[in-house]
Chains A and B, each alone.
Chain A
Amino acid sequence: MTTPLLDVRGLSIALPPGADRPLAVDNLTFTLNPDEILCVVGESGSGKSMTAHAMMGLLPAPHVRVAGGSLLFKGKDVLAMPEAEQRSLRGGRIAMVFQEPMTALNPLMRVGRQIGESLREHTDLPAPARRARVVELLAQVGLPNPAELAEAYPFRLSGGQRQRVMIAMALACQPDILIADEPTTALDVTTQKQILDLIRSIQAERHMGMMFITHDFGVVAEIAHRVAVMRHGKLVEYGAASDVLNRPQHPYTRQLIASVPHYIEHRDDHAKTGAPLLVADKVRKVFNVGGGLFKKSKQVVAGDDLSLTIHPGETVGLVGESGSGKSTLGRSIVGLIKPDSGRILFEGTDLLALDRKGFRPYRRAVQMVFQDPYASLNPRHRVGDIVAQGPVAFGEDRNRALARARELLAMVGLDGSAADRFPHEFSGGQRQRIGIARALAMEPKLLVADEPVSALDVSVQGQVLDLLDDIRRRLNLAMLFITHDLRVAAQVCDTIAVMRRGKIVEMGTAREVFTHPRDTYTRSLLDAIPGKAWHIPVDLQQAPAGAH
């Protein structure tokens, strides 16, 4: 075999004293060959991005530094090179695409110039030739009107377009290695598919070596040739993609793959019994954005003619991409937003017709679990208080409410001492459990869960989904489950409603929607699910949770 493009040997990266562990990356060894996509997979804190940052000289000096090992590019140690030589590699021979397209571009510089800067640094092209090359690059990454777009400022571009600009910037000097650090994580699923397709075709065309960092095994299945799985800074499994995906060896890899949300076959359709618990009828909400004394505001239709039914014990999934209006409907049901028109009937009573006082009793019946486990708990209150505050507001004796809070915390899988501690002492997954306990303390009949797992790591995601599923069956709760991830919806929902631009385009049982989608948008969403051609190894598939 020829020398690999990149040869990482025994790389260790030290964290500052006082961090949760001494080494961010611990004795890491792997190689990257030309014309190959290597996926580095891991959860947050696994050290997967640190490796890339070390290569690009982006480690936050002086706190974080390379403690040992070498990074050989075409046989030459990058870490031993003088700064100027390292710089000529960066953006020249090794280029990088980042996770957050919204913040990765300088907001005050035209995108064409930002791409041109790379050419200016690494080539001796004269200015007109640079400009022509920028337009050519923008065309290559599939952007419309490239000449015009080069003159635009980043804020005029969508997330997907910005990520294309980032890719064009990375390709500017024909690099040998492209590092992509979770480049599609911040994007909607349909945009993610387009960007993945683009990245794959560009890599194949130019025979680049590519290091693709991700947490999502679906994405891995979509593009990887080889896979490296990292945990707590250590490499735990390393091999060809087909081996790792279909015959994972290390328990951690197996756990990660088992937690990939997926549609579960043989799930029974929900038997709708009795009168509906909640009926949303032609709900409409328009937001006025901006505006002031002298200027007209822009109107954004967040919900238009939304109708939806939830039966007792049923879990309805509300699926849509960002800005589709799915949260607006959820928030309208719990009374955080007042829709402009329509009705929301709870056990036959129109909640929207009630005044503040009349609505109050229904607050108990409809509860919400929020998205961000770090923002949804008051940092200055003890966990026991947080859970007990609701019942206390409804006149419950404080001591009784606290005792009940302890029971609920035990029920969501936290130990007894949790009630006396503060939120910052808990991990994201544990905080989400506290949020669930807070909702349950009100003894609701309907739980609105707004993206309850999207801020969590995959393995934790699975645990929280299991908990929600377990609880709703034990308490016969109805649930409105709002998510952007069809796979998650498919795993926990009986019924799925698909939303697009403020409208529900399709609603049916999970099985129908998944196997026989009627709407073209639903089909494009399903088609965009990363790794749909890959089937999770049978021994790692979850038991069909819906089977009663």
Chain B
Amino acid sequence: MLGFAQLFASRLVKAAAILIAIVVMNFFLVHAAPGDPAMVMAGEAGAADEKFVTQLREQFGLDRPLYEQLGTYIGKVVQGDLGFSYRQQRPVWDILAERLPATLVLTLTAFILALAAGVALGTLAAVTVGTWADSAITVVALLAYATPIYWIGLMLSLLFSIQLGWLPAFGYETIGAGYTGLAHVADVAVHLILPVITLALFYMAGYARLTRASMLEVRSLDFVKTAKAKGLTQGRIVTRHVLRNAILPVITVAGIQAGQLVGGSILIETVFAWPGIGRLAFEAVLQRDYQVLLGIFLVTSVMVILFNILTDILYGLVDPRIQVSQ
């Protein structure tokens, strides 16, 4: 297991390096954002005279050279200080922390669902290749892959909430119901169904296509011939030999696409009024609240890094070779 610990450590180091790069990039974006913070502050204080603005600049170090400001900025970020939202009159981190759990629940559930269902459907398509089941899965995957996720969300809520009334169309819980305990969990779960399915559908389609292609490729490899020559049953060949090898590229792609999935939550949370940081991003865009927007950029990047570590670990568990070569 030493190899695994080393793998994990090297991943953490890499993640830290990427994180620093993202913080630096974020700093420059903050600078590029319109609206001099001093002017804004002065505006909020109702006193926009030159002298006061200059004083504010000195006070917040905005007259210092850029690299010094960068240093101060990184120091603040390390302490969890992501700036102050003057629109909401609250520290950015406090706003984000409040919204983060809802987004984590949504994206993680969707990620796992997309991966599990995608692999399952892709496998089914590969073993029934050329039949109606394969064609049906291929067509659905092709359609899901071509549809904007926010539109799928709208259409699903049009059908299941507005027309059929089966599921709630928006929100995180039934407002004013005051559920506690298990009833509360169930209530949240029901609200979660549509957003999760919508977010997962697009990626599920991608993973299904990839799994199918990968299975068909692995099926023609030499070691599968060996397995057949051993007289193993078709089922055992698929589960023990083909699937495990075919899943590796799917995990790699899932890791790479984690960023898109997290980004997609902006759209889903907007459609379903899910109170996470995606919905917050939409509000920040409407209000042109750049401090909050950049805070979201940073936090979602960290989320992607965590997803990547997750998929790396998953890959390391499936493929014994990785612990040696890396």
Direct A–B contact present (CB less than 8 angstroms): yes
Q: Identify the A interface with B (CB < 8 A).
A: 56-58, 60, 87-92, 95-96, 98, 100, 103-109, 114, 117-118, 121-122, 153, 155, 166, 169, 290, 293-295
Contact (A104, B321) CB under 8 Å given A121-B230, A121-B232, A122-B231: no
Contact of A294 among B13, B222, B241 (CB under 8 A): B13
The count of residues in chain B whose C-beta lies closer than 8 Å to any C-beta of chain A is 29
Please, could you name 16 A-B residue pairs with CB atoms under 8 Å apart, sorted by A?
A: A60-B220, A87-B232, A98-B222, A98-B229, A100-B222, A103-B223, A106-B223, A106-B240, A106-B244, A108-B244, A109-B244, A117-B232, A118-B230, A121-B231, A121-B236, A295-B10
In whole Å, how far is A246's beta carbon from the nearest beta carbon of chain B?
A: 34
Q: Identify the B interface with A (CB < 8 A).
A: 10, 13-14, 17, 220-223, 225-233, 236, 240-241, 244-245, 318-321, 324-326
Main secondary structure of the interface of B (DSSP, over half): helix
Contact check, A108 vs B318: say whether CB atoms are below 8 A apart: yes
Contact check, A90 vs B321: say whether CB atoms are below 8 A apart: no
In whole Å, how far is A60's beta carbon from the nearest beta carbon of chain B?
A: 8
A-B contact count (CB 8 A): 86
Assembled-state Cα–Cα distance A114/B222 (Å):
14
Assembled-state Cα–Cα distance A96/B223 (Å):
12
Assembled-state Cα–Cα distance A60/B224 (Å):
12
Contact (A104, B320) CB under 8 Å given A90-B230, A117-B240, A121-B231: no
List A contacts of B319 (CB < 8 A).
107-108
Contact of A105 among B223, B231, B320, B324 (CB under 8 A): B223
Assembled-state Cα–Cα distance A295/B228 (Å):
40
In whole Å, how far is B79's beta carbon from the nearest beta carbon of chain A?
A: 26
Contact (A109, B229) CB under 8 Å given A153-B320, A294-B10: no
Contact (A56, B228) CB under 8 Å given A107-B245, A107-B321, A108-B245: yes
Assembled-state Cα–Cα distance A95/B324 (Å):
33
Interface centre among B10, B221, B222, B230 (most CB of A within 10 A): B230
Contact of B231 among A60, A89, A98, A107 (CB under 8 A): A89
Q: Given contacts A107-B245, A117-B240, A294-B14, could you give 12 more A-B pairs where the C-beta distance is less than 8 Å?
A: A56-B228, A58-B228, A58-B229, A60-B220, A89-B231, A90-B228, A91-B229, A103-B223, A107-B223, A108-B244, A117-B227, A121-B231
In whole Å, how far is A182's beta carbon from the nearest beta carbon of chain B?
A: 12
In whole Å, how far is B263's beta carbon from the nearest beta carbon of chain A?
A: 27
Contact of B226 among A57, A105, A293 (CB under 8 A): A105
Assembled-state Cα–Cα distance A353/B223 (Å):
49
In chain B, what residue has the closest Cβ to A113?
B240
In chain B, what residue has the closest Cβ to A100?
B222
Contact check, A106 vs B231: say whether CB atoms are below 8 A apart: no
Contact (A106, B228) CB under 8 Å given A87-B233, A155-B321, A290-B325: no
List B contacts of A295 (CB < 8 A).
10, 326
Contact (A166, B226) CB under 8 Å given A107-B245, A107-B321, A155-B321: yes
